[in-house]
Amino acid sequence: MSDTKVEIIMKYKINTEKCKICRMCFRTRCKALKFEGKVIIDSDKCNGCGMCYNLCPANAIIMIDEGK
C-alpha cells in the first residue's frame, strides 16, 4: 500500500437562480442541505456524494472543485 494518497473531494452548491425549491434534494436526508429562505449546502458538511446532484430535476446543483 502506498502512503501517498491524493483525495479529491468534489463539493456541490446550489444555483439559487435555477432552484425551484421542489425539495427533491431533501429526500437524501443529507445534513449538509438546509433551507434558509432558499436551499443551501453547508460545504463543511458536504462529503461530495453527489446524491442531491443526481436527484435535482432542475439541474440547480453544481459541482465545485475545492482544490481551486
Which positions lie near ligand SF4, rule CB under 6 A? 12, 14, 19-25, 28, 30, 32-33, 39, 41, 46-53, 55-56, 58, 60-61
HEC string for the chain: CCCCCCCCCEEEEECCCCCCCCCHHHHHCCCCEEECCCEEECCCCCCCCCHHHHHCCCCCEEEEECCC
**CA 51, CA 29: separation in Å to the nearest integer?**
10
Which residue lies nearer to ligand SF4 by CB, 1 or 67?
Answer: 67
Closest CB 5 distance from ligand SF4, rounded Å: 20
Which of 1/57 has CB closer to ligand SF4? Answer: 57
Residue number, 3 or 17, with CB nearest to ligand SF4: 17
